[in-house]
Amino acid sequence: MLFLRGAEHENLVRVYAAGPHRARSFPLRTEECMALIRHPKDFFAGLLFIAFGIAAIVIGSNYALGTAARMGPGYFPRILGTLLIALGLALALRALRLSGPAVPAFKWRPLVIVLASVTLFGLIVNFAGVALSTVFLIVAASAASHEFRIRESVVSGVILAAVAVGVFVIGLKLQLPIWPPAFS
C-alpha cells in the first residue's frame, strides 16, 4: 500500500489487486460509487426496503418470538422484516446490473398539495360531512398532478365519496355526518 501525497492530498490508498497496473483508489469517490449504480431508482428503493426491514426487526425484538406452531407477537414483524431485507437486497443488487433512468429531481408541489388536502379533509369532515369532504379531498389531491382534469377528478370524487359513505358510515357505523348539518 502506498499513501499518495502532494497533488492528491485526499489520502487515498492505492491497493494493487493484480500487479501495479491495476491499481484502485479507496475510498471510492461519489462519482465512482454512482457509476457502479446503474439503476438509481431501484437501488434507493432497495435501501428503503432494507431500512424498513431493519426497523421491523428492531421493533419486533421487544416482543416474544414464539414458535412456528405457536407464534408470539414478535414473530410476524421479524419474518416481515427479514423478507423486506431480502427483497431490498435483491432490488439493490439488481440495480448494480441493469441500466435504468436517473432519479428525477424532487418535486415539492405535489407533496405539499396532497398533504394539505388530507389535512384539510381531517379538519372539515365533521362540519362538511363525509360525502362533500371526500369529493373535495379527491379534487384537491388530483390538482397535484400535471395531468389534472377537473371532470375526471369530480367523477372519481363522487364515486369514492359513495364508497367512503358505504364503508365507513353505513358499514362500520362511524359517527360521522354524511352531509353537512345544514343539509340534514
What pLDDT was estimated at residue 26? 54
Cell numbers for 102: 436517473
166 shares a domain with 112? yes
Q: Which whole number is the average pLDDT over 51-56?
A: 96
What pLDDT was estimated at residue 97? 87
Q: Is residue 5 very low, low, confident or very high in pLDDT (cuts 50, 70, 90)?
A: very low
pTM for the whole structure: 0.57
Task: Name the average pLDDT for the chain.
Answer: 83
Q: Is residue 180 very low, low, confident or very high in pLDDT (cuts 50, 70, 90)?
A: very high
The contacts of residue 93 (CB under 8 Å, 6+ apart) are: 46
- Per DSSP, helices labelled H in 20-107 are 30-36, 40-60, 75-97
Domain range for residue 150? 108-171
141 in any annotated domain? yes
43 shares a domain with 13? no
120 shares a domain with 86? no
178 in any annotated domain? no
Low-confidence winner among 74-83, 101-110, 123-132, 162-171 (lowest mean pLDDT) = 101-110
Last residue of a domain, one of 97, 130, 148: 97
128 in any annotated domain? yes
47 shares a domain with 23? no
Sequence-ordered strand ranges (E) for the chain: 2-3, 13-16, 23-26
179 in any annotated domain? no
183 in any annotated domain? no
Over 90: is that where the pLDDT of 69 sits?
no
143 in any annotated domain? yes
Q: Is residue 35 very low, low, confident or very high in pLDDT (cuts 50, 70, 90)?
A: low
pLDDT in tens, 98-134: 887 777 788 899 999 999 999 999 999 999 999 999 9
119 in any annotated domain? yes
Q: Provide, for the chain, the percentages of residues in helix, strand and coil under a 3-state DSSP scheme, each rounded to the nearest 5.
A: 60, 5, 35
59 in any annotated domain? yes
**What domain count does the chain have?**
3
Over 90: is that where the pLDDT of 161 sits?
yes
What pLDDT was estimated at residue 9? 38
